[in-house]
Amino acid sequence: MYLKELCEMDGVSGNETPVRKFIKENIREYADEIFTDSIGNLIAKRKGESSEKKVMIDAHTDEVGFIISGITEKGFLEFKTVGGIDTRVVVSKRVRIGKDSVNGVIGMKAIHLQKKSEREIAPKISDMYIDIGANSKEEAERYIELGDYAAFNTKYQEMSGKIIKAKAIDDRAGCAVLMELIKIKPVYDTYFCFTAQEEVGLRGAKTAAYAIEPDIALAVEATTCSDVGGVKEKDYVTKLGSGAAVSFADNRTIVGRDFCQWLYEKSQKAKIPVQYKAAIAGGNNAGAIHLSKKGVKTASVSVPCRYIHSPCSIADMGDIEAVKNVAELFLLCTNELV
């Protein structure tokens, strides 16, 4: 799997190019057709045993991050968030900015200089800036343009056992899974969609689904996992190490009962560890795909991911393997569903 390579790449929504190029290079030999559309989706068609139906399988290439919105006279960079970032995880983190990957750090007034009242409230993005070490606006402008993207600079690392930490596991884990699955021959013609701009409103999946007009679709995602200290068990959403998470509903989609049950039960029979995503929270590309044209039968299967949308998430390779196996079952037995 290409998880490490994918998670160490920068591809903030709207600038997925490096991720897309890497994927394209590495799956080209398995694709019968491959193209990039206007929003930046990479779509690879893999012919199946039959062309009777069209299957769409989706993972998004983008990640949450920042965009440079101003440069101060002294050469500090002002920025906005791209996608949903909890602003409380941002201070004192490292980023890479622009096409030349300029190093920067996100600063704020030192604790010694903060007033007592300031120490209580969560820092706002407007109170922060990125420091690239420029001594003036002119120097900064030699390296940075307004509109340049900035991404967290986090190394992929193995923790204990099969646990790994990295940024952008949402949804490079999905991308890594799709890059493996394109190697097998599916039952129907399958469109492997590496979609852009999920984090800013499921935008790539919308145009991809429109173009493909699939009969059925599966979004391969990463989802919240809050089985962490200080959270009540009922609020866990998913549990790390308990397998692939099948959604029955989230904020954007109510998955067809038959489809999500099929995924869950079929996986159980195949001895693939599987769990239900036990909360109606978040939303993913299934939301855009299932409303395409006259409607598409769509479900999602996700990798539980702690500290999603932060500089450093945690996932279990066993869960990623399980997601791959569930998605593989789907591609090999789609005829049972359509």
Residues acting as catalytic residues: 198
DSSP 203-265: HHHHHHHHHH--SEEEEEEEEE----TTS-GGG-SS-TTS-EEEESB-SS-B--HHHHHHHHH
- Regarding 119 and contact with another protein (CB under 8 A), the answer is yes
The binding track of 2-41 with respect to another protein, each residue x by CB under 8 A or -, is ----------------------------------------
- Regarding 115 and contact with another protein (CB under 8 A), the answer is no
- Regarding 215 and contact with another protein (CB under 8 A), the answer is no
Spacing of C-alpha 222 from chain mean position: 6
| Identified binder of another protein from the candidate list 222, 306, 324, 326, rule CB under 8 A | 306
- The Cα–Cα gap between 21 and 2 comes to 13
Instruction: Work out how close the CB of 226 gets to another protein at its nearest, in angstroms, rounded to a whole number.
Output: 5
- Regarding 135 and contact with another protein (CB under 8 A), the answer is yes
Kindly indicate which of the ranges 30-38, 48-56, 132-140, 173-181 contains the residues binding another protein, using the contact rule CB under 8 A. Answer: 132-140
Residue 50 in 3-state DSSP? strand
Instruction: Work out how close the CB of 145 gets to another protein at its nearest, in angstroms, rounded to a whole number.
Output: 15
Kindly indicate which of the ranges 114-122, 188-196, 266-274, 330-338 contains the residues binding another protein, using the contact rule CB under 8 A. Answer: 114-122
- Regarding 328 and contact with another protein (CB under 8 A), the answer is no
Instruction: Work out how close the CB of 1 gets to another protein at its nearest, in angstroms, rounded to a whole number.
Output: 18
- The Cα–Cα gap between 208 and 206 comes to 6
The residues, ordered by sequence, that sit 6+ positions from 184 with a Cβ below 8 Å of its Cβ are 328, 331, 332
- Regarding 168 and contact with another protein (CB under 8 A), the answer is no
Residues contacting another protein: total by CB under 8 A: 70
| Identified binder of another protein from the candidate list 15, 41, 195, 226, rule CB under 8 A | 226
The residues, ordered by sequence, that sit 6+ positions from 198 with a Cβ below 8 Å of its Cβ are 13, 60, 62, 171, 204, 205, 284, 285
Q: How many Cα atoms are found within 13 Å in the side-chain-facing hemisphere of 273?
A: 15
